[in-house]
Amino acid sequence: MQYRELSTGTGTYVIKTGAGFLQGIQVNVAAAATTLQIFDQTSAAAPAIAGGAAAFPLSAVGTTPFYRYNCSFTNGLTIVVGGSGTFSLTVLYY
Instruction: Report how far residue 60's alpha carbon sits from residue 17's, in angstroms, rounded to the nearest whole number.
Output: 31
Average pLDDT over residues 57-82: 84
Instruction: Give the pLDDT of residue 59.
Output: 63
Contact by Cβ (8 Å): 29, 64 = yes
Rounded to the nearest angstrom, the gap between the alpha carbon of residue 69 and the centroid of all alpha carbons in its chain is 11
Q: How confident is the model at residue 60 (pLDDT cuts 50, 70, 90)?
A: low
pLDDT at 65: 84
